[in-house]
Amino acid sequence: MRIQHLRRTSKRKWRLAYLWDLLRSLVDRDMKLMYKRSALGIAWTLISPLLQLAVFVFVFQIILQVDIPQYASYVFCGLLIWTWFQNALFQATGVIISSRPLIRQPGFPIAILPVVIVTTGLIHFLLALPVLVVFLLIDGVQLTPLVLILPLLNIIQFALTVSIAYFLAALNVTFRDTQHTLGVVLQLLFYLTPIFYDLSSIPSEYWNLYGLNPLVHLVTCYRQILIWGVQPDWVALAIISGCTAIALPAGYLVFKRQSLRFVEEI
């Protein structure tokens, strides 16, 4: 019995090591393909949110003059979080269709593909983080030890995004217009997330409905520890974590069940 247990443990460790190496290889491949023959390379990670930031600052600080302290840091923080979420979901939705050669290989762990996309988004977020710190310093924000909570928020957002990505990736194989529909939904969700406006502008009668958007609470928690230097909303984080703990295995099971027909449908 002990020998069998040791063999199972050894196989499990080997499997985990294999998946880790495969994840690193696929993320590295995606990063290289994404910026292949690009003059600016990885700088594109910052160009889009910075241009959006410039527009929001011009409209809401010069024209409309919205009264939000440290507005540049406020908006840029929200944009980085949103960009990771949006790009990861959009790309993960079509990852099965775009990975036909990998999926047709016998024994390839298909379930790793959405994780690769979300991991790539996390790397882009981390690469852009020093620029956010520069904005914080320019705006006179003093970072506190609460920034050590940042990895926890990253983990929660990572798990939440992967759980949704599993559902969407599986659905898109059967219904090819899922990715197009998602683009519209994400555009609407962007305006329902406090990226460039303050939560206080939301009428109280709509708050219960508005608060169903998990990005509202995640973005707020990021700002609480990075900009305002206060404890994040632990209740909101606990609720999001609990929902994610249910959605992640559920999404994985749906994805695994659908994966039996991926080769036939792509």
Residue with tokens 């762990």: 109
The per-residue pLDDT for 30 is 84
Q: Residue 126: which of 146, 118, 89 has the closest Cα?
A: 118
CA distance 22 to 111: 12
Cα distance between residue 95 and residue 99, in whole Å? 6
**pLDDT at residue 111 in the model:** 93
Calculate the dihedral angle through the C-alpha atoms of 116, 50, 151, 32, rounding to the nearest 10 degrees: 30
Amino acid at position 57, single letter: V
Return d(Cα 226, Cα 203) in angstroms, integer: 26
Looking at residue 148, its pLDDT comes to: 95
Structure tokens at 198: 């303050």
- Collapsing DSSP to helix, strand or coil, 195 comes out as coil
Q: Which residue ranges of the chain lie beneath pLDDT 50?
A: 6
Res 193: pLDDT: 96
What is the rounded CA–CA span in Å between residue 28 and residue 184? 30
Per-residue pLDDT at 171: 93
Residue-level pLDDT at 31: 81
Q: What is the pLDDT of residue 238?
A: 97
In the chain, count of helices (H) and strands (E)? Answer: 11, 0
What are the structure tokens assigned to 93, written together?
């939705």
> Exposed, middle or buried: residue 39 (CB in 10 Å: 0-12, 13-18, 19+)?
exposed
